[in-house]
Structure 1
Amino acid sequence: MEQFSNVGVVPLHRQQPQFQQQRPLTHQVVRAATAVTAGGSFLLLSGLLLVVTVVALACATPILVLFSPVLVPASLAVVLLITGFVTSGGFGVAAVALLKWMYDYVVGKHPTGADQIDEARHKLASKAKDIKEFGQQQLGGAGHTS
């Protein structure tokens, strides 16, 4: 199989110099023509889109001015309704996540942040114990002086 792999193939150094120069030049011309065609097409489409947008805005402006006393409050109401629904949905998701976290904590599954909660609980308990002891000392000391 190796014997026949080079059959009919002319080495590059034996090819004609004109063919080597014409092929890259042809590729460059084709690439340039494609780029100019695509760029021109996109430029034409963007210009047409701009013209259509300006014409549509010119046609819609009188209608928008006539209906603005209705459209502005209606759009404001729609924005407020959407904001309310999204906010309530977010609070609902947060509440469900919090309830799940609390359930996992109570069951003992050790959710994320449980260490901080336990540490804060121990600090609070020790401070409450210190305050209780201090109050008992003050009351005990006040009873002896009277």
Structure 2
Amino acid sequence: MAEQRQATYGQVQQHQPQNYPTDAIRGMLPEHSPSKSQIIAVVTLFPIGGTLLLLSGLTLAGTLIGLAVATPLFVIFSPVLVPAAIVIAFAVAGFLTSGAFGIIALSSLSWMANFLRKVGATSRTTAPEQMEQFKRRVQDTTGQIGQKTKETGQAIQTKAQEGKDRT
């Protein structure tokens, strides 16, 4: 043990910098000072952010107070309010659905008009060819759907057979 201490003290000790609490804080600070534009941005945005935060807090408090005051009224008038809310919800859904169908109809008519213009712009002999191609596509799709239906039916029959065989 004494030999180990002598060996340790006999070696040349290297100087290591001591760590002070302020060194950690200095490491977090930027090495360069902020520019004037950054300082102006912080000085202007800080009050605006504080004001908006204050307004959001006031709005939250007002909402909570209003809800506390209105809750008993909702309970008292709920036999009238619930059906009224349902009727209003259906009316809004109807208007939105009507608008969506209207937009779909207009876009479909626009697409058909553009398609017919293109067909009219090309030679008149290509329209029957396009119709034949369309008919072939429909027949192919119908054949594929029929094939899938047959395969699904066969799969159901085999599963039913397996279920019968197990019981």
The higher relative CO (CA closer than 8 Å, separation ≥ 6) is in: 1
Taking structure 2 as the reference length, the TM-score comes to 0.42
